[in-house]
């Protein structure tokens, strides 16, 4: 297997983008990624696009061909990748494997979702398909409800509090306020979170990530060629993916994501490092309890200590490990197909020293963690300065 590096990154502003369409956003992100490494279209061998539900949300299928067409990249192979909210992360892994195997020398990986043009109940229905449609969605179990069940179990087993979950939202909004690409540009207080209405108890409005539009893209190459295109290549030193039961009721434990634990363990073994070596991580915080479980399941904190660590500021900028410096899904936004790629963009910026206003000093190693549904898919990447 060849060593693989990210040489170019780009993304759009995340938010309610009423004036831009689905294809426009991905073309913008892709063009920025190519410009970032001075790459020309004729040098690209393949394209992978992570997107979850464009057919339901904007009426567009056959996305790979769409993007290749409008970016002027025909006739190269262009493939859509779908893994619910982990579509972007799995697209990145697919591109990584294509380069590592020698199948392709230059790959563009994009992620995109256009969500805000669709009525809320239709978005909820489309997202619900990421779980077990027959046994969860059809029976009325929304994703806030499913994660609320996880939160209740975590609270029962470990004493996690609503204030600890709220502290995750406060921290991530503070980071997002420093990120010009983020959906939310404002800081919030613990009181604001605690006084917001319940969506599915114990999860309140400010415990939940928003419905967002946006796109992100990265360019991958063999490490041996990377310095022809950038002075700061970022090597992907590990890529791992795992699965679990689709429905929450079929899992052996409701207070953890086993897929995350397996993917993280494999990634750390592949990279030859431990969780304590990571300086910055973008984890999947679709709900505040999801971040708490993620930082435990990845191994940054012992099981049951994630809530306390968050409340004590140990995951903030300047803490033990900086978590979700972009603002995460909660603050930066969650255009589901784009999230996993956006995470990689943020880590690259951090490792290059380009994360303006939120830079983790001396960052050498970064990690991304992207989840599909309520944990049926998890993908972890580890990156370092080359």
Q: Hey, which residues are catalytic here? A: 85, 334
Tokens 């040098």 locate to 43
* Residue-wise DSSP of 94-141: HHHHHHHTTS-S-EEEEEEE--TTS-HHHHHHHHHTTS-IIIIITTT-
Q: How far apart are CA 271 and CA 268, in angstroms?
A: 5
Which DSSP letter does residue 9 get? E
Q: How far apart are CA 278 and CA 301, in angstroms?
A: 12
**Percentages (nearest 5) of helix, strand, coil residues in the chain:** 40, 20, 40
Helices (H) and strands (E) in the chain, counts: 14, 12
Q: What are φ and ψ of residue 254, in 5° steps?
A: -95, -5
Q: How far apart are CA 283 and CA 295, in angstroms?
A: 8
Three-class DSSP category at 371: strand
Strands (E) in the chain, as ranges, are: 4-11, 46-50, 78-81, 107-113, 198-200, 203-204, 214-222, 234-243, 280-282, 322-323, 365-372, 377-385
Residues 108, 34 contacting (CB under 8 angstroms): yes
How many Å separate Cα 68 from the centre of its chain? 23
Q: How far apart are CA 238 and CA 245, in angstroms?
A: 24
């Amino acid at each position: 297997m060849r060593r693989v590096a990210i040489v170019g990154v780009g993304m759009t502003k995340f938010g309610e983008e009423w004036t831009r369409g689905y294809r426009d956003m991905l073309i913008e992100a892709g063009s920025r990624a190519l410009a970032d490494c001075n790459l020309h279209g004729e040098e690209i061998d393949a394209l992978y696009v992570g997107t979850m539900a464009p057919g339901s949300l904007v009426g567009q299928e056959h996305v790979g061909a769409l993007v290749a067409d409008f970016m002027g990249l025909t006739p190269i192979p262009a493939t859509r990748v779908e893994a619910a909210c982990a579509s972007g992360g799995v697209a990145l892994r697919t591109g990584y494997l294509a380069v590592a195997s020698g199948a392709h020398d230059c790959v563009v990986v994009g992620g995109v979702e256009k969500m805000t043009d669709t009525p809320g109940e239709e978005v909820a229905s489309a997202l619900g398909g990421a779980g077990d449609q027959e046994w969860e969605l059809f029976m009325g179990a929304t994703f806030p409800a499913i994660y609320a069940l996880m939160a209740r179990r975590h609270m029962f087993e470990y004493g996690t509090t609503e204030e600890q979950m709220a502290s995750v939202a406060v921290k991530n909004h503070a980071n997002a306020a420093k990120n010009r690409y983020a959906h939310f540009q404002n800081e919030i207080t613990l009181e604001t979170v605690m006084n917001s209405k319940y969506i599915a108890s114990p999860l309140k409005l400010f415990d939940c990530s928003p419905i967002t539009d946006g796109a992100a893209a990265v360019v991958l190459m063999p490490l041996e060629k990377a310095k022809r295109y950038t002075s700061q290549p970022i090597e992907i030193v590990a890529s791992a993916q795992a699965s679990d039961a689709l429905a929450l009721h079929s899992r052996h434990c409701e207070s953890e994501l086993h897929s995350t634990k397996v993917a993280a363990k494999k990634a750390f073994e592949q990279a030859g490092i431990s969780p304590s070596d990571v300086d910055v991580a973008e984890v999947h915080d679709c709900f505040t309890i999801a971040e708490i479980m993620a930082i435990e399941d990845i191994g940054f904190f012992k099981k049951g200590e994630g809530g306390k660590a968050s409340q004590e500021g140990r995951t903030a900028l300047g803490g033990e490990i900086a978590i979700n410096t972009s603002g995460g899904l909660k603050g930066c936004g969650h255009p589901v197909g784009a999230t996993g790629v956006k995470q990689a963009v943020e880590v690259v910026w951090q490792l290059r020293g380009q994360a303006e206003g939120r830079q983790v000093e001396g960052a050498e190693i970064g990690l991304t963690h992207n989840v599909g549904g309520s944990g049926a898919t998890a993908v972890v990447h580890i990156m370092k300065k080359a």
